[in-house]
A and B are shown apart, each in its own frame.
Chain A
Amino acid sequence: SYELTQPPSVSVSPGQTASITCSGDKLGHKYVCWYQQKPGQSPVLVIYQDNKRPSGIPERYSGSNSGNTATLTISGTQAMDEADYHCQAWDTTTVVFGGGTKLTVL
């Protein structure tokens, strides 16, 4: 079965750029989505189709996907961005998630 791998945790200082990776075999051939999830809340879509932002998502969120790695980038990270981030892709007819990355803003 297809697997997506994320680092368990990433730390960033306020105002700096955070990068969260998601790796999978030939992932660049698939569309990747990213979801933000804060404690006790449901996930929120922040990036879809590799690099598109849903309405209402700040411009500081961006995404890329090439080769075997997709990356979620948060520019000018704010305290409110502290959350778990989950990448997601399709493998033919099944939906696959990475294990999630806890982003700490300190």
Chain B
Amino acid sequence: QVQLVESGGGLVKPGGSLRLSCAASGFTFSDYYMSWFRQAPGKGLEWVSYISSSGPTIYYADSVKGRFTISRDNAKKSLYLQMNSLRAEDTAVYYCARWHYDSRGFAGIDYWGQGTLVTVSS
């Protein structure tokens, strides 16, 4: 069965850095676009970034552009998010997720990890 397991969250001071990892299993990781999303406490979902199946296509939300870097290692079936210059407003649960697509194109996010909490506070 498909599993996405995030790790690397924790408490970090403003201006600090953190690297999130997502270990994938149960599917051919290299076939899928992957994304990071986040959800601040009591708030809605926010897209952070996505990366194409082999990595050349990458996009970021304006709120994290220039500070966050998404990457993947298809051999290790892993997705990463390097977060630098962290701010209080980056505090959220971060989810790793897989994009489903069919003949019409993108067909939603069909699998999500359980999330990892990142808290930015002094």
Give chain A's interface residues, CB within 8 Å of chain B. Answer: 1, 31, 33, 35, 37, 42-45, 47-49, 52, 54, 84, 86, 88, 90, 93-100
Contacts and interface: CB of A to CB of B under 8 A. Distances in A.
Closest 9 CB pairs of A and B: A48-B108, A95-B47, A42-B112, A100-B44, A33-B108, A45-B108, A48-B107, A97-B45, A99-B44
A42 B110 CA distance: 11
A86 B109 CA distance: 12
A43 B45 CA distance: 9
B61 interface: yes
A35 B45 contact: yes
B44 A45 contact: no
Interface stretch (B68-76, B79-87, B98-106): B98-106
B116 to A, nearest CB: 11
Contact of B107 (A52, A94, A96): A52
Contacts of A47: 108
Contacts of B46: 97
Nearest to A95: B47
A93 B50 CA distance: 10
B62 A31 contact: no
Contact of A54 (B50, B59, B108): B108
Contact of A94 (B44, B61, B106, B112): B61
